[in-house]
Amino acid sequence: MAGTHQLEAVFKSFCSFGAGKDEALMDSTKCSKLFRDLKLYGKNLTETDVDIAFNKVKAKTEKKINFKQFQELLKVVAEQYKSDKRLDEGDDALKALIEDISFRQTPSQIPGASAGTDRVVGTSKYTVTS
């Protein structure tokens, strides 16, 4: 199933974002970043809902989740996502949206992720006087 492999690639790219190495586990912060960067939050699906779902699917002694637990998390939040977007099938639509958006952009390429660097690096805003 190609969709699962694509979703897993997206999961791993967000897991390893900022880690400096390939990471196969996702913490709560990176999970929130995934939902925020992909603009999946809405009126009914909030960051708090995702945090609660994250804590439901992870083991009590762990701080990170694996891909299988991430799929369970998507099933938990799918109902709220579905009501935000007025869809019939929330779980499949959520997975498809994550695959579609994320495969086109890595976490660092998502708009707004590097807005501060344009100000510092952009030479168009400098004036030269002699």
Domain coordinates in residue numbering, the chain: 2-107
Contact 56/45 with Cβ under 8 angstroms? no
pTM: 0.64
Q: Which two tokens stand for residue 1?
A: 């199933």
Multiple choice CATH, 2-107, 1.10.3720.10, 1.10.287.130, 3.30.70.380, 1.10.238.10 = 1.10.238.10
- pLDDT tens-place values along the chain, 130 residues long: 446 777 888 888 888 887 777 778 999 999 999 888 888 888 888 899 999 999 999 999 999 999 999 988 988 888 777 777 666 655 566 666 665 554 454 555 555 545 555 555 556 665 666 5
Give the three-class secondary structure for 41. Answer: coil
